[in-house]
Structure 1
Amino acid sequence: MVAVFNKELLSWYLITLKLKETVESGLQNAQSPTTTRSSEFPAQSHQEHLQKQENEVWNSLQIEAKDEVQDDEDDKGPTSPKSEWVISIKEKLNQARQEDAAGSWAKLCIYRVPQCLREGDDKAYIPQIVSLGPYHHGRRRLRNMDRHKWRALYHILKRTNQDMQLYLDAVKELEEKARACYEGSIKLGSNEFVEIMVLDGCFILELFRGVAGGFTHLGYSRNDPIFAMRGSMHSILRDMIMLENQIPLFILDRLLGLQIGNPDQRGMVAKLALRFFDPLMPTDEPLTKSDRNKLESSIGNSSTFDPLTDQGGLHCLEVFRRSLLVMRTGPKPTPRIWIKRWSHTNRVADKRKQQLIHCVTELKDAGIKFKKGKTDRFWDIKFKNGILKIPRLLIHDGTKSLFLNLIAFEQCHLDCTNDITSYVIFMDNLIDSAEDVSYLHYCGIIEHWLGSDAEVAELFNRLCQEVVFDMNDSYLSRLSEQVNKYYDHRWNAWRASLKHRYFNSPWTIISFIAAVFLLLLTFAQTFYGVYGYYRPSS
């Protein structure tokens, strides 16, 4: 459409078009044999009638043109644009007031990963096979999984002999609470949002129950492309642990409760989630039965959903994170409180001051020894008498995405310690090169399934590239101080250098002992020669 800037010209153009249409319609009526007016009026009266119509159209269009010009002049006035501007500002302030209402952030626990964290690592945060929740719903490449979600829901309804409306009504009651768990406004209608919660939630539960008790018991074929312990299950597993791909735990609890006939049950989904995500554990040994029982009891104790307590599970990623930190015996860092960040002693974290510890090569040259820790809890690091004990860490192709999403959750969720972030930054400080990885592998501390040691070094060097946190808020800060104090002691470095240069093999030790023995003999011979000269025997 062509923009017309002169409204008077536009008015004349419209008048011309209207006159033309009127004249043409009048001529058609005059030529039509069915029109009675042409037979009742002579040509002269007909022309007068057309002229009268043209005058009426002219007057009406002139009035419209004057009104448009008057509106244009009013728009140029000093008050109208200002009024619209003020109204726009008031609307924005009203929206801000609604977002800042009391309790509006209380249940927020499923976040969009900040752009500063996801630079160059989108695949670690964006699902590649299946979307869960509203954030990535409707993506073209993920739509193929929707038919399998509907199959899962069909199997549930068929197995339980229940009606679909039962699940929709149950989730409808929790819709407002579920929306509050997601960051920002969810631009989905009520029906669509509830449908997503039911469909994705039932899909998750079928996977959980299938891994725990077998898919064949749930009615699936052993050759099923999705509901089987093979095929794309590993990729689905990685997608389901992503921060942006979570469903609130209370939604899953309600859906599972409806299936087993106990709508108010709690804790069972968390137990199933622990078994399902166990292959992602970054340790050789799975979670022990006693540790699992303790974790399951801690998750299932609370009767109400409250994300600000340590008892209420938020979602599967948070449950998995808790399983990583279960039964930690070390000192726990104080929970982060925003107001303390602005004190003189606890300043805002500085990216330049995140160097907790020196790299492996430098520590080794300073006489510090590395040994594999006896515990299977990867975060349980200890230092005593110059020996740094680090539990075994298993690195596979899903470790990067796992750690990145755990770090993103700790960065976004204020009421959450930064234990995983502290551990990753500690390991990042230790590993600077492939030689560092090779030595840790030699000590039994790192086991990886990647192509080379250089890839492991690059992985850790990029995990916390854009992460900023206060090193004083780390549970490893005190241990790092002890290691650095030992490193700064010069005698330890000299002793290590002596051992490295002259006692690095049995042959050098034998040679050193022989040299010392010969030196002692030479000294004794010289002593007795001098002594005999001044004190000759009588």
Structure 2
Amino acid sequence: MVAVFNKELLSWYLITLKLKETVEAGLPKSQPSTPTPPPTNEPQQQPSKPLPLLLTQTPWEEDKDNNNNTTNDTTTKPASEWLISIHERLDQARLDEASCPWAKLSIYRVPKSLREGDDKAYVPQLVSIGPYHHAKRRLRDMERHKWRALHHVLRRTSHPIDLYVDTIHSLEDRTRACYESSINMSSHDFVLMLVLDGCFLLELFRGAAGEGFKQLGYSRHDPVFAMRGTMHSVQRDLIMLENQIPLFVLDRLLGLQIGMPDQSGLVARLALRFFDPLMPTDEPLRKSDRTKLQHESTHDAAFDPLSETGLHCLDVFRQSLLRIGPKPEPRPWIKRRWSNTRRVADKRRQQLIHCVTELREAGVKFKRLKTDRFWDVKFNNGVLKIPRLLIHDGTKSLFLNLIAFEQCHMDCSNDITSYVIFMDNLINSEEDVGYLHYCGIIEHWLGNDDEVADLFNRLCQEVVFDINDSYLSGLSDQVNRYYNHRWNTWRASLKHHYFNNPWAIISLIAAIVLLILTFAQTFYSVYGYYWPHS
């Protein structure tokens, strides 16, 4: 046995042996000698050309065939399967294109670009509705209460569970088409989820809208179906975009309970009453609006809760916010400068208006507009009138989900986004919030004014917005023209520096009187010198 002390020498020796084996394996075997045919005058026959390659053959297989002049079935088969899988995917894409399922989309997953700021605002913390957050571990505690709600419904109506399951099963395909991504749930699980979640929502709506949970059979000490502090958290979860089920499913379930299977619109009316505490205004629903929601005699042209236009609860809530809503008015100078065919929003062009501090320096006054329609902003003769906006711990999640819905749904206007961006432009610092609070425009329950300013500055960080479609673009143009007028700035500066308190006014008046007396004394002195009395 030979001991090798040089490892490098051993490595080279092994490599040499391997190369030798490779070369020997690649050499063609010697062919037996054959007698050379005698030369003839006839042309030699050329070898026949290889047959054309199959369509399923790949370029690298062609090179291998040319080199070896043989067909390798073991390599052709995987390549054929690979191309077959491509054709299958193209066929599926063709079917998807023909069916156009996205035309029925109404419940979306919030884009990653929007949820990077605050993922908690889009994810339910207490109860899940629909398939997106179904069966999550931290939300499982509410599942037993959903079964209790279904038990109360069946006991109160004396209906068999088969009636609800079979009815919702007939709506399964239509319901699945409302969700953005494919739902990895079996048919039975999906239908059961819709029945449980739908009956749970209806019990909440009916109990909070006037019937009362006690009349529905729940105890006043019920941990969920009672007007406790947790109800606000439940309301905030149920208004999230990813936590919705289609409104037609709720309409059908409620119709089965009241014996009117084909009714529509009653759920929208109940939902508005349930989500009324989330309204971003301290003004409650006006008496006329409440009467309109309770009776079917009157109808609003802009929003009719009894119509079938609502997609889900978030859509119904948004429509109620914009009842007799604003209409976009593009600014004329933008319309002249940019072509109407330019539909891609420019992220750099989202500044509608200057902040409060700068507008005050230009002489713009701020006043509270007494109305419960928070989006109704007016400007006239240098006075910007804005309705009061109530900000609480659920306002951020509410606005973020409304903005996300407007960003995702193509058949939806951007009115809520326009208002939020308008307020974001107005508010740049806590001083701006403090002055709006002083004017009665902003009322908040947060820690300080700086938190309110930070809230608005973060709401639209990743939002793509087209100012040509903003209903506030015309008003902003008026304010900007007033701001750019120099006389208004000079007048405001004079007022801020010399008329900001009574003592400054008295000092200014005294200075003016003293100046007038000085001029009078000088005049009479000169007059007496040149024209003395006789």
The TM-score, its normalising length taken from structure 2, stands at 0.81
- Residue 266 of structure 2 contacts residue 306 of structure 2 at CA under 8 Å; is this kept in 1? no
- Residue 356 of structure 1 contacts residue 429 of structure 1 at CA under 8 Å; is this kept in 2? yes
- Residue 328 of structure 2 contacts residue 469 of structure 2 at CA under 8 Å; is this kept in 1? no
- 1:47-62 correspondence runs (5 A): none
Q: Does 1:218 align with 2:216?
A: yes
2:358, 2:340 → 1: CA distance?
32
- The partner residue of 1:299 within 284, 295, 304 is 304
- The partner residue of 2:458 within 458, 462, 470 is 462
Partner AA of 1:116 in structure 2: S
- 2:60 alignment partner in structure 1: none
- 2:8 alignment partner in structure 1: none
Deviation, structure 1 residue 188: 1.1
- Percent identical across equivalent pairs? 73
2:74, 2:516 → 1: CA distance?
108
Q: Please, which runs of 5 or more residues in structure 1 have no aligned partner?
A: 1-71, 306-311, 335-341
- Residue 129 of structure 1 contacts residue 145 of structure 1 at CA under 8 Å; is this kept in 2? yes
Q: Deviation digits for residues 421-474 of structure 1, max 9, x if unmatched?
A: 000001111111111111111111100001111111111000000001101110
- 1:496-535 correspondence runs (5 A): 496-535=492-531
Deviation, structure 1 residue 323: 0.8
1:101, 1:412 → 2: CA distance?
22
79-88 or 458-467: bigger deviation: 79-88
- 1:74 alignment partner in structure 2: 73
2:74, 2:443 → 1: CA distance?
72
1:408, 1:331 → 2: CA distance?
20
- Residue 498 of structure 2 contacts residue 504 of structure 2 at CA under 8 Å; is this kept in 1? yes
Deviation, structure 1 residue 182: 0.7
- 1:15 alignment partner in structure 2: none
1:425, 1:530 → 2: CA distance?
64
Q: Does 1:479 align with 2:481?
A: no
Deviation, structure 1 residue 286: 1.4
- 1:13 alignment partner in structure 2: none
CA distance 1:299–1:331, shift in 2 (3 Å): closer
CA distance 1:176–1:323, shift in 2 (3 Å): same
CA distance 1:452–1:514, shift in 2 (3 Å): same
2:93, 2:434 → 1: CA distance?
53
Q: Deviation digits for residues 380-405 of structure 1, max 9, x if unmatched?
A: 00111111111000000000000000
- 1:17 alignment partner in structure 2: none
Deviation, structure 1 residue 85: 2.7
Deviation, structure 1 residue 291: 3.1
- Residue 328 of structure 2 contacts residue 472 of structure 2 at CA under 8 Å; is this kept in 1? no
- 2:11 alignment partner in structure 1: none
- 2:243 alignment partner in structure 1: 245
Instruction: Give the structure with the larger helix fraction.
Output: 1
- 2:86 alignment partner in structure 1: 89
- The partner residue of 2:360 within 359, 364, 373 is 364
Find the residue that maps to 2:375 and give its secondary structure. Answer: coil
118-127 or 276-285: bigger deviation: 118-127
- Residue 266 of structure 1 contacts residue 300 of structure 1 at CA under 8 Å; is this kept in 2? no
How many residue pairs end up in the alignment?
449
- 1:90-109 correspondence runs (5 A): 90-109=87-106
Find the residue that maps to 2:108 and give its secondary structure. Answer: coil
- 1:29-40 correspondence runs (5 A): none
Partner AA of 2:73 in structure 1: D
- 1:381-396 correspondence runs (5 A): 381-396=377-392
- Residue 153 of structure 1 contacts residue 202 of structure 1 at CA under 8 Å; is this kept in 2? yes
Find the residue that maps to 2:366 and give its secondary structure. Answer: strand
- 2:445 alignment partner in structure 1: 449
2:286, 2:88 → 1: CA distance?
55
The TM-score, its normalising length taken from structure 1, stands at 0.81
Deviation, structure 1 residue 502: 1.0
Partner AA of 1:299 in structure 2: D
Q: Deviation digits for residues 468-499 of structure 1, max 9, x if unmatched?
A: 11011100011111111111111111111111
- Residue 333 of structure 1 contacts residue 475 of structure 1 at CA under 8 Å; is this kept in 2? yes
1:300, 1:428 → 2: CA distance?
31
2:492, 2:220 → 1: CA distance?
60
- Residue 131 of structure 1 contacts residue 137 of structure 1 at CA under 8 Å; is this kept in 2? yes
- 1:6-405 correspondence runs (5 A): 74-76=73-75, 79-212=76-209, 213-292=211-290, 297=299, 298-300=303-305, 302=307, 312-328=309-325, 330-332=326-328, 346-405=342-401
Q: Deviation digits for residues 319-358 of structure 1, max 9, x if unmatched?
A: 0001111123x44459xxxxxxx95663411111111111
- Residue 225 of structure 1 contacts residue 231 of structure 1 at CA under 8 Å; is this kept in 2? no
Partner AA of 2:492 in structure 1: A
- Residue 164 of structure 2 contacts residue 195 of structure 2 at CA under 8 Å; is this kept in 1? yes
1:466, 1:365 → 2: CA distance?
30
- Residue 111 of structure 1 contacts residue 182 of structure 1 at CA under 8 Å; is this kept in 2? yes
Deviation, structure 1 residue 240: 0.2
- 1:20 alignment partner in structure 2: none
C-alpha RMSD of the superposition: 1.8
Q: Deviation digits for residues 302-322 of structure 1, max 9, x if unmatched?
A: 4xx5xxxxxx11000000001
Find the residue that maps to 1:245 and give its secondary structure. Answer: coil
2:185, 2:106 → 1: CA distance?
19
- 1:491 alignment partner in structure 2: 487
1:429, 1:300 → 2: CA distance?
33
1:171, 1:93 → 2: CA distance?
33
Deviation, structure 1 residue 105: 2.4
Deviation, structure 1 residue 157: 0.3
CA distance 1:227–1:344, shift in 2 (3 Å): closer
Partner AA of 1:216 in structure 2: K
1:510, 1:436 → 2: CA distance?
29
